[in-house]
């Protein structure tokens, strides 16, 4: 379905056309008519499906048709990076419609704080905020939300994971009772259902297929001891010009600097980012990565959700995420907007059970690829009790030698299969 068929305002259609978009994604096609109809909504779809535009377009459409000088919409999201990104999209889409907006988040001083206070008291049309910082303003009396018509919770599951449940309820107590509520989430655990029941009124529900990586992501697993991982990554990306933007995920902030030191080279720039960084520095690092001045960015899960960086060609999980859902979000940073990409996960003995949980979640085995012989002996694949042994076609490391040509065809299994799988990754 085209955006024109959705009946959007001509000014919005002009902005969408200027950005090069014609057809709506499935989540946009299903949710925009519901929101335009004034219904509350709970929508569930994985990262990279166009959720942000799904709620922005109908809200901006209403503002374009009925301009106001007060705050019409409040969008709550878990991180400052996501707040900035959403506000940037509002600026792009709302430019022709005359809609003004502001992002409110922590880590700012002086003039920026004054600007946030003024937006809340004088009425920016759309406020995008992290819960903690918005509460700080509300407690100081910096708000004028009496005319609010839309409350949107983006990445609702992530906000609850981060402990924002009470903050969200406190914020809601400052809002008009009559409003349209929209909740967007990548997963639908019981706590999301509970929150939806408390906040939403007779909501419509839209759920796309959950917990499945995009079809364009070529996945592979390398079994490797921790001391082999940095050398393995260096070998994987050296002289591979097709990997122009590489994102390496670490599960801990402590490891970020260690990984950077191991990957640093004179040939290209390697940088890192985590929640320990000041906001201004984080924005500078992300800007350099977007401009491809930085080839390798090492990050914690602060970048696994909501951050839209185009054309990431390779995602590497330095270690396996503890939450199986986070794996889907991490590798969702590549192969966005129906493109292709490669996602590699380095698995030590301690993380094998986590990889089993991931494969159970996504409903398929991720091919095993042998590390180069010069790195030494890799861990042997061990299956925890009741986990299945994943030896089909040489998928398991022990089964690799028996996998033969099937390993070559699938890019998994024995050492010859490693070459086949890696060439396939290069080709894509």
48: pLDDT strictly greater than 70: no
Specify whether 238 is located in the same domain as 275: yes
User: Where does a domain end: 177, 207, 237?
Assistant: 207
Residues 171 and 195 in one domain: yes
What is the per-residue pLDDT for 415? 34
Q: What angle do CA 397, 399, 404 make, to 5 degrees?
A: 110
Do 137 and 29 have their domain in common? yes
Task: Answer yes or no: do 258 and 302 share one domain.
Answer: yes
Q: Which residue has the higher pLDDT, 331 or 182?
A: 182
Same domain assignment for residues 241 and 200: no
Query: Cα–Cα distance between 102 and 100 in angstroms, integer?
Result: 7
Task: Say if residue 227 is in the same domain as residue 289.
Answer: yes
- Who wins on pLDDT, 390 or 321? 321
Asked, for residue 212, whether it belongs to a domain, the answer is no
Higher-pLDDT residue of 52 and 310 is 52
**Co-location of 203 and 222 in the same domain:** no
User: Of 154, 185, 207, at which residue does a domain stop?
Assistant: 207
Number of domains in the chain: 2
**Which run of H or of E encompasses 352?**
helix 352-362
One domain for residues 180 and 244: no
Instruction: Tell me: do 248 and 134 sit in the same domain.
Output: no
Do residues 144 and 89 make contact, with C-beta atoms less than 8 angstroms apart?
no
Please tell me whether residues 297 and 331 are part of one structural domain: yes
Domain of 366, in residue numbers: 217-427
pLDDT for position 424: 38
CATH of the domain at 170: 3.40.50.300
Classify residue 241: in a domain, yes or no.
yes
Instruction: Please indicate, yes or no, if residue 99 is contained in any of the structural domains.
Output: yes
Average pLDDT of span 261-283: 86
**What is the torsion angle, in degrees rounded to the nearest 10, for the CA atoms of residue 126, residue 304, residue 252 and residue 242?**
-130
């Amino acid at each position: 379905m085209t955006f024109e068929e959705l009946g959007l305002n001509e000014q919005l259609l002009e902005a969408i056309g200027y950005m090069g978009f014609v057809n709506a994604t499935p989540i946009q096609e299903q949710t925009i008519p519901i929101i335009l109809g004034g219904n509350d909504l709970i929508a569930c779809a994985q990262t990279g499906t166009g959720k942000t535009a799904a709620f922005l377009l109908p809200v901006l459409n209403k503002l374009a048709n009925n301009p106001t000088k007060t705050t019409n919409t409040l969008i709550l999201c878990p991180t400052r990076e996501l707040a900035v990104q959403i506000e940037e999209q509002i600026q792009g889409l709302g430019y022709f419609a005359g809609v003004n907006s502001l992002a409110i988040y922590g880590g700012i001083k002086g003039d920026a704080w004054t600007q946030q206070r003024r937006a809340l008291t004088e009425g920016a049309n759309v406020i995008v905020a992290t819960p903690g910082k918005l509460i700080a303003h509300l407690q100081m009396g910096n708000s004028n939300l009496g005319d609010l018509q839309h409350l949107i919770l983006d990445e609702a599951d992530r906000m609850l994971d981060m402990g924002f449940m009470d903050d969200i309820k406190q914020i809601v107590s400052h809002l008009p009772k009559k409003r349209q509520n929209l909740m967007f989430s990548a997963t639908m655990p019981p706590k999301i259902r509970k929150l939806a029941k408390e906040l939403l009124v007779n909501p419509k529900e839209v759920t796309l297929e959950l917990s499945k990586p995009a079809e364009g992501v070529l996945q592979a697993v390398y079994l490797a001891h921790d001391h082999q991982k940095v050398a393995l990554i260096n070998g994987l990306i050296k002289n591979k010009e097709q990997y122009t933007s590489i994102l390496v995920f670490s599960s801990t902030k402590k490891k970020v600097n260690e990984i950077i030191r191991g990957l640093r080279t004179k040939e290209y720039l390697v940088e890192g980012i985590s929640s320990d960084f000041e906001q201004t520095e984080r924005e500078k690092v992300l800007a350099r990565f977007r401009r491809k001045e930085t080839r390798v960015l090492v990050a914690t899960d602060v970048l696994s959700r909501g951050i839209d960086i185009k054309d990431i060609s390779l995602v590497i999980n330095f270690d396996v995420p503890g939450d199986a859902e986070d794996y889907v979000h991490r590798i969702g940073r590549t192969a966005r907007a129906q493109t292709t990409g490669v996602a590699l996960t380095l698995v030590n003995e301690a993380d094998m059970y986590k990889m089993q949980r991931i494969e159970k979640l996504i409903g398929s085995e991720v091919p095993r690829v042998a590390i180069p012989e010069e790195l030494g002996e890799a861990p042997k694949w061990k299956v925890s009790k009741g986990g299945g042994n994943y030896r089909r076609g040489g998928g398991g490391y022990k089964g690799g030698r028996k996998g033969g040509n099937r390993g070559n065809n699938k890019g998994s299994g024995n050492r010859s299969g490693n070459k086949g799988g890696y060439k396939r990754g290069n080709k894509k």
